[in-house]
């Protein structure tokens, strides 16, 4: 059973560990260096108004994933950006679905009309995940630099709330 709730500062160590595992596993995140619990706590604390962070946990309280939405300078005010992270080896088991249900409701409550996901064209799992939630392609960005210096194509997907 998966439980989803709002993320709190006490979740930061587990969130950082999960994010670092994903980065080590496949390099599909845009982060160029490992993150610390303090980095995650700071991100949550300094998140702009109209942001929402959620965590998904196992029955025993172990973190399975997290997701957040926030406004973005490159999007209109009726849209927010989304980021999703699920524990390595735990994808396809309902974590992303459970997180997105809570996140979509939070987006409605915060007054958003649509959600934008920006996924590396190389991230097949991410592309499939957002497609399965009902996101559709609305654009592309070529030659986007990552923190590592590598350049990738980004696929822009949109979910109308």
Give the dihedral sign, CA 88/94/71/150: positive
Contact 64, 87 (CB under 8 A): yes
Judge: domain 3-160, CATH 3.10.580.10.
no
Q: Name the average pLDDT for the chain.
A: 91
Rounded CA gap, 31 and 49, in Å? 23
Percentage above 90 pLDDT, the chain: 78
Domain extents in the chain: 3-160
Rounded CA gap, 46 and 39, in Å? 10
Give the pair of three-digit tokens for residue 108.
């409605």
Give the pair of three-digit tokens for residue 79.
């849209």
**Residue 25 confidence (pLDDT):** 55
Paired residues of 116 in beta bridges: 81, 158
Length of the chain: 161
- Mean per-residue pLDDT, 102-108: 98
How does pLDDT run across 14-30, given as a tens digit for each residue? Answer: 999 999 998 765 554 55
Residue 95 CA, chain-centre distance (Å), reads 12
* pLDDT category of residue 117 using cuts at 50, 70 and 90: very high
* pLDDT category of residue 83 using cuts at 50, 70 and 90: very high
**Residue 43 confidence (pLDDT):** 96
* pLDDT category of residue 51 using cuts at 50, 70 and 90: very high
């Amino acid at each position: 059973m998966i439980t989803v709730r709002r993320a709190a500062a006490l979740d930061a160590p587990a969130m950082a560990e999960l994010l670092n595992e994903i980065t080590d596993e496949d390099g599909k995140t845009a982060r160029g260096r490992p993150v610390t619990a303090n980095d995650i706590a700071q991100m949550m604390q300094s998140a702009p108004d109209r942001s929402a962070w959620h965590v998904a946990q196992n029955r025993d309280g172990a973190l399975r994933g997290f997701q957040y939405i926030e406004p973005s300078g490159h999007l209109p005010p009726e849209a927010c950006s989304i980021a999703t992270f699920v524990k390595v080896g735990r994808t396809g088991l309902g974590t992303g679905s459970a997180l997105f249900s809570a996140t979509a409701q939070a987006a409605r409550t915060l007054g958003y009309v649509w959600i934008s996901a920006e996924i590396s064209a190389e991230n097949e799992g991410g592309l499939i995940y957002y497609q399965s939630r009902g996101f559709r392609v609305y654009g592309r960005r070529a030659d986007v630099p990552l923190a590592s210096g590598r350049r990738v194509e980004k696929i822009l997907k949109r979910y109308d709330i």
